[in-house]
Amino acid sequence: MIERPLDLDAVEAFVRIADLGSFTLTAEAMGTSQAAVSLKLKRLEDRLGHRLLERTPRHVQLSLQGAAFLEHARELLAVHERALASFTGKRQRLALGVSDHVAGPDLPALIARMAAHAPQLLLEIRLASSGELLQSYDRRELDAVVVRLDMGRSDGELIAEEPFAWLAAPGWQPRMGEPLPLLNLAQPCGVRAMATGLLDACNRPWSEVFVGGGVAAVAAAVMAGLGVAAIAPRMLPLGAVDVGPWLDLPALPRLPVMLHTRIRAGERGGRRREALNTLAAALKSAVRPA
């Protein structure tokens, strides 16, 4: 008797859950419901005769059988994509702009997840400030942009709202009587404008002592002990200290991460929209509180 073939949609759901660690985020990435994802996984587990995931109220992790199956699942999906691509001809191109203030150290993982779930796409990724990316998007140079601030626009999709903090290196001490030493990204930067505006509003003296061309440079300056940066905690190594309460600095708001795109779900959007959904889900996973 010939065994039933594996359901590729179910295999894809399993791989996405393994990558994102969440049924909810997987459902969003696949454009379906959480119940549908759970049903796909159950059918796959029934077909294989093994439990692939261990579930708790807060976490999802691979079982021993799931970890063993994951590499095979990825290979199966990749072979399927290559087979389809051999008949569809030219690769679809996705020109994507991502704010450095959003991507940060997570950029390699974000690219890997997009490529894993849409391997036949030609990915073109540009890093710049939110304002620069939105200008390129409006000139139709980019198919989609992921930016830190909504810039007063109403055409974006909210991906997540991320906490910010006043962060410094362990053991850093302010100098008595001197302005707060600030470490900022180069202008134009919406986060810089927000942070300095809050300090000015409460009459807190500050002095810009470092300007970085990217988040990695600002993070390095923080850990080198040069001063304080208003930045998302995930941008810095473990050990960075939130000095806001200690120095009585103004509270920083959670800032939105927005997706702007003209690509919609459907036949023509196809894999490009799926790749954007995967990116959005991966970012939600990255910014959510531990």
Q: Look at residue 150 in the predicted model and tell me its pLDDT.
A: 62
Q: Look at residue 168 in the predicted model and tell me its pLDDT.
A: 95
CA distance 13 to 7: 10
Nearest to 185, CA basis, from 145, 235, 138, 144: 235
pLDDT category at 290 given cuts 50, 70, 90 is very low
Of the given ranges (34-48, 202-216, 238-252), which has the lowest mean pLDDT?
Answer: 34-48
Does residue 66 have a pLDDT over 70?
Answer: yes
Percent of the chain with pLDDT over 70: 90
Give this prediction's pTM.
0.68
pLDDT category at 1 given cuts 50, 70, 90 is very low
Does residue 190 have a pLDDT over 70?
Answer: yes
Name residue 180's amino acid.
L
Of the segments 21-35, 71-85, 120-134, which one has the largest average pLDDT value?
Answer: 120-134
pLDDT in tens, 131-165: 889 999 999 999 999 998 766 677 888 888 999 99
Q: Look at residue 58 in the predicted model and tell me its pLDDT.
A: 65
Mean per-residue pLDDT of the chain:
84
CA distance 251 to 195: 10
- Can you tell me the mean pLDDT for 180-205? 89
Q: Look at residue 228 in the predicted model and tell me its pLDDT.
A: 95
pLDDT in tens, 228-261: 999 999 888 888 999 999 999 999 999 889 999 9
Of the segments 105-114, 185-194, 219-228, which one has the largest average pLDDT value?
Answer: 219-228
Percent of the chain with pLDDT over 90: 28
Question: Structure tokens of 167?
Answer: 């962060």
Range 13-47 burial, b when 16+ CB lie within 10 A, else e:
bbbbbbbbbbbebbbbbbeeeeeebbebbeebbee
- Can you tell me the mean pLDDT for 207-233? 91
Q: Look at residue 146 in the predicted model and tell me its pLDDT.
A: 92
Residues with Cβ within 8 Å of 86's Cβ and at least 6 positions away in sequence, in order, are: none
Domains of the chain, start order: 8-88 (1.10.10.10), 93-158+256-287 (3.40.190.10), 165-253 (3.40.190.10)
Please state, in angstroms and as integers, the Cα–Cα distance from residue 206 to each residue in 212, 220, 249, following that order.
17, 20, 11
